Structure 1
Amino acid sequence: MPDTSVALESMPMRHVILNCGVPPLQAAESHSLSAIPTRTELKIINTICKEVLPEDPTPSLDEIAASPNVAHLGAPGPAPQLIDDPLRLIVHGTDAALAAVLTRLMRIDALWAEVAFIPSEESTVAQAWGLPKEKEFAFEAPVKPKPLIRDDAGQAVAHSATISDWDGREITGEIIVDDTVLLHHSARTRNPRKGQYGARLISTFDAPGIEGNRILSSEHPGGFWQKVLPVAPSLIDATAHQGRAMQAGGVNLRITIDGQSRKRPVERATFYRHLRDLQAVRA
């Protein structure tokens, strides 16, 4: 696989820090936003991207989708836009804040922008991306493209998502990764300590883009186990299945992306690889 990292020393770059609910870092250009930025707040990204790239000469998403060439389904690669002064957005905040910024970039089709992350607390993204504690990394490290995963509600996944029962019980439903049935289960009357509680999705660094595992216990089991056991992370099945898409259908499903749950339960959900790759600053 060719090295798709981009050296920064040879090119000028515009760095923009997005401070999300945290004390702002000092920089030439920074903006203070909510802990999880709202759509209105994130309009600043539209303005910045238009300043850097007023018109995108590359094929649109519709044109890519209609093309018989499926190169976009393979190994992730650098953005095709050739920009004299690249843009790097540095998100300073939580995993959920990063996911909100990625969602905005995806929706305005500006994933050519480089994205770095400075976590403000313990972060699964930082751990997965191998981010050091030194903040200079976000400014100086090279880009390493990776697939971007999204759901059918137009939300981007920074690192992980889960499909579970809304009330923390065993799941009733079916979850499929590409053509493989990951889980097919009907909840029992009583909630066991170990059982079928849903699935976890991880956004991988290479094709096909998704890794799915079954969840074998609930963080909030309720009943007897709630009284005798402390709240603990869910048990995850070691057997992983990879694919481009994960689909779920069932009863009373909770969809959680990078620690943030949807506001109401659903009966179905789909996650899949986006047509553009994420230009991530990672180890």
Structure 2
Amino acid sequence: MDSIDSDVVLLTCSDTGQAPRLPVHGSRRAAALAALPAVALPARPDRAALDPVLAERRPRRVVVSGTDAALAAVLLRLLRTDRLDVEVAYLPEARSPATAAWGLPTGDDAAALAVEGDASPVPLVRDDSGGVLVGRGELRDVRGECYCDDVLVLRGAARRLVVAPGPEGIGVRAGWSGRAPDGRTRPVASRAPSGTGSALGRAVQVGCEPNTVVVDGVPHPRTVPRWTWYRHTEDWRLVRP
């Protein structure tokens, strides 16, 4: 099949078999989105679903309509196919950890940004199981230790260990509330027998009793005794305010 150069392609990610309703109403932005070439994909498109689309259409920008898990799945395929120069815009179904992490709008404002916004390089966060993180990583009822770079943020037990990417790097917060990291550093004292804190850095390393890691709302298929998130050497290009 011959390649088709497509400036912008709309990827609608849903397991219903139909394209989800776009989060826009009667406006010129809705008309602009409706005019884009659209491809219906599974809710979490894999290599077989997405790679042929990328190879055939060779887009400058993809607009991802779906969940944080869909956005992560698309970003992973861009990484694996050496296409991190492709711009990524996000049309979320609702406010989400990814919209909070990157300061992204929803609804009509998201549509306007997807059509008219500029892309800029932002940190790409990977993990040691081969995945990527776009919004929120979480371990629940965790017991062990966690470091962000050389800052100790968990020793002992916490109800939640939350990791989030962002423009400044990778944030992590351990505690009992489950709130997202706020970018501040609150280390656990090196000699403390237990404690929780927070930090911002380039890598987060967790060693714990076997636990299930949830990445962008998707539980890892196996419990693991350790996990690492780290900043990739290359950024991705996100359309954001």
Which TM-score band (shorter chain)? 0.7 to 0.9
Displacement after TM superposition at 1:156 (Å):
1.1
Where does the alignment leave 5 or more consecutive residues of structure 1 unmatched?
Answer: 1-11, 53-85, 165-169, 188-195, 218-233
Q: 2:170 maps to what in 1? A: 210
Deviations 1:25-72 (A, max 9, x none): 633411101112233112234414xx64xxxxxxxxxxxxxxxxxxxx
Displacement after TM superposition at 1:236 (Å):
5.9
Q: 2:55 aligns with which of 47, 55, 74?
A: 47
Q: 2:206 maps to what in 1? A: 248
Equivalent runs, 1:106-255 vs 2, <5 Å:
106-128=79-101, 129-134=103-108, 135-164=111-140, 170-185=141-156, 196-206=158-168, 209-217=169-177, 234-235=178-179, 239=186, 240-255=198-213
Displacement after TM superposition at 1:198 (Å):
4.0
| Inter-CA distance 282–13: structure 2 relative to 1 (3 Å threshold) | farther
Q: 1:30 aligns with which of 38, 49, 63?
A: 38
- Decide which structure has greater strand share: 2
Aligned mates of 1:96, 1:241 — CA distance in 2: 25
Equivalent AA in structure 2 for residue 282 of structure 1: R
Aligned mates of 2:106, 2:207 — CA distance in 1: 39
Equivalent AA in structure 2 for residue 19 of structure 1: T
Where 2:212 maps in the other structure, the secondary structure is: strand
Aligned mates of 1:257, 1:266 — CA distance in 2: 13
Aligned mates of 1:104, 1:45 — CA distance in 2: 11
TM-score, with length taken from structure 2: 0.77
Equivalent AA in structure 1 for residue 9 of structure 2: V
TM-score, with length taken from structure 1: 0.66
Where 1:90 maps in the other structure, the secondary structure is: strand
Q: 2:222 aligns with which of 257, 264, 268?
A: 264
Equivalent AA in structure 1 for residue 164 of structure 2: I
Give RMSD over aligned pairs: 2.2
CA contact (8 A) 1:17 1:27 kept: no
The percentage of aligned residue pairs carrying the same residue is 34
CA contact (8 A) 1:177 1:246 kept: yes
Where does the alignment leave 5 or more consecutive residues of structure 2 unmatched?
Answer: 23-33, 187-197
Alignment pair present for 1:87 and 2:60: yes
Which one has the largest radius of gyration?
A: 1
CA contact (8 A) 1:173 1:249 kept: yes
CA contact (8 A) 1:99 1:157 kept: yes
Aligned mates of 1:34, 1:269 — CA distance in 2: 27
Where 2:234 maps in the other structure, the secondary structure is: strand
